[in-house]
Structure 1
Amino acid sequence: MSVATATDRGLSFKMQSSSTQRFLAAHEPDLMHHWTSPGLSASDLTVFCDFDGPIIDVSERYYQTYQLGLADLQAVYEAMGEPIPIHVLSKTQFWQMKQDRVPDLEIAIRSGLQSHHVDYFLERVTEIVNQPALLHQDRLQPGVRWALSLLRSQGARLILVTLRCQEQALQILESYGLADLFTDIRGTSDRDAAYRNQAELKTRLLAQVIEDHSFSASAVDAAVMVGDTEADILAGQSAGISTIALTCGIRSANYLKRFQPDRIHQDLLSTAHYLIYQQELVRAFC
């Protein structure tokens, strides 16, 4: 599956007429799998969206955390008379390794650390990654404001589901004037959960949101999970909803393909255009 190309599982709107189904099957086959229940309109779409990656670019914060972790380690060992010949990766090198899910241990070793240095380095990274001075490095992804507004204008319900601290996510969205676009904003109370990115936690969180909103079977069928990591894909698959993986975050297309999302897109704006295109097809032929 290439970027922005559906797998056989595909996303699909649920059509009322067999002629519409035949047309869409011929012209947009990935519309014909999930959303096929009678009586469900395009405006019933719910988009569950992750925060870090799809909405917020965390690459600079993660890279600066990596640099500071190395600098702190180097300072500690120099004070003990044991200088470490550190090789700091470029941001491009570092982020490519993060996107390819290279273990932090390997990133540390490629940066010149020995095995006995790694524990301190990783502990230090975990300690500082969520400090306010570094959190200020986060930026809104290009096109996000337009993407969210487009989806809302078409009647889609937007629900944020993130492993970031809920209060923190809400504050950031409010600072950008985006919070009111979401029906619900759900996160965790663990400041380190987003960095650990545990699929099991994301799966439980999404399931809880679906339960709390009393989603019917048809509403679940008309939902999609949008995210940039395997945790998002696995959570959506566990809940029985369609999944769209984005490559603008912390995972590469090649890595995401392993988890068989229904589609892979570059960013949230291209995803919004794709979903709206499907809505227009439904309205034109229903």
Structure 2
Amino acid sequence: MSAYKLAIFDWDGTLMDSVAHIVDSMQQAAYAVGEPVPASAEVRHIIGLGLPEAIAQLFPHAKPHTHEAIRQQYAQHFLAHSASRSQLFAGAEALLAQLRQQGYLLAIATGKSRLGLNRVLAQTGIGHYFVATRCADETASKPDPQMLKELLAYTGVSVDQAVMIGDTSYDLGMAQTLSMPRIGVSYGVHGVEVLQTYQPLAIVDSLYQLHDYLW
């Protein structure tokens, strides 16, 4: 028997190795519009938020039209190189296939836009594993738990029968707000020390290690 009925995955930094690409794209966008280029650590910290929220946090003194220019430059740079610079983490598709075979419903809760998620699901060919997805531009951005509430409502699964899997404080924080079981991954954005403050069931070092906690 599966430990849970619904496994909800974050995308960037959890299923897809895209953190370096996100950092570079944001730095290139800042440079293109003449804003101070944020340090890599600053950009890594906001990965997981919706793009408007991330830009507002990174460039708090910039005017709205500058935020929009940064957003456009970021999207342009990210899209131009996404196929070559972002790849699924080792074991991602095998894990999803095993979970589906085991009877799990699978979902995604991501800071990506709907357009961005649809594009990368098509590129990777793994969209068919997921019964539902929620993106930051169609509901509240993390760490607000609204996207988790919507996924629970859509699937009809109770909060105690779902588990959130992610690499950031935003992922674990929104799950903790709902008292949803949660598992952190250490290979993404936020360190183990940060993830531990959200009292996860476990923190794993690879997707392969999730097997022990989901079976």
TM-score (norm 2): 0.75
Distance between the aligned counterparts of 2:2 and 2:108, measured in 1? Answer: 20
Aligned to 1:284: none
Structure 1 position 214 matched with structure 2 position 152: no
2:112 counterpart SS class: strand
Structure 1 position 264 matched with structure 2 position 199: no
Distance between the aligned counterparts of 2:192 and 2:155, measured in 1? Answer: 32
Aligned to 1:168: 116
Greater C-alpha Rg: 1
Q: Residue 100 of structure 1: CA displacement?
A: 6.1
> What are structure 1's unaligned runs of at least 5 residues?
1-40, 78-85, 109-114, 280-286
Q: Residue 175 of structure 1: CA displacement?
A: 2.4
Aligned to 1:59: 19
Q: Which amino acid aligns with 1:130?
A: A
Q: Residue 44 of structure 1: CA displacement?
A: 5.0
Aligned to 1:275: 213
Cα deviations by residue, 1:124-165 (Å, 9 ceiling, x for unpaired): 644422222254433222221122122222222211122312
The 5 A counterparts of 1:133-212 are: 133-136=80-83, 137-189=85-137, 198-200=142-144, 203-212=145-154
CA contact (8 A) 2:11 2:109 kept: yes
Pairwise CA RMSD: 3.4
Aligned to 2:164: 225
Q: Residue 104 of structure 1: CA displacement?
A: 8.8
Sequence identity (%): 20
Distance between the aligned counterparts of 1:67 and 1:241, measured in 2? Answer: 35
Q: Does the C-alpha gap of structure 1 residues 43 and 67 become closer, same or farther in structure 2, counting only changes over 3 Å?
A: closer
The 5 A counterparts of 1:85-124 are: 94=40, 98-99=43-44, 119=62, 123=67
CA contact (8 A) 2:27 2:37 kept: no
Distance between the aligned counterparts of 1:243 and 1:44, measured in 2? Answer: 11
CA contact (8 A) 1:43 1:154 kept: no
Q: Does the C-alpha gap of structure 1 residues 119 and 208 become closer, same or farther in structure 2, counting only changes over 3 Å?
A: same
Q: Residue 275 of structure 1: CA displacement?
A: 2.7
**Residues matched between the structures, number:** 201
Q: Which amino acid aligns with 2:74?
A: V
Q: Residue 48 of structure 1: CA displacement?
A: 1.0
1:130 counterpart SS class: helix
Q: Residue 225 of structure 1: CA displacement?
A: 0.5
TM-score (norm 1): 0.58
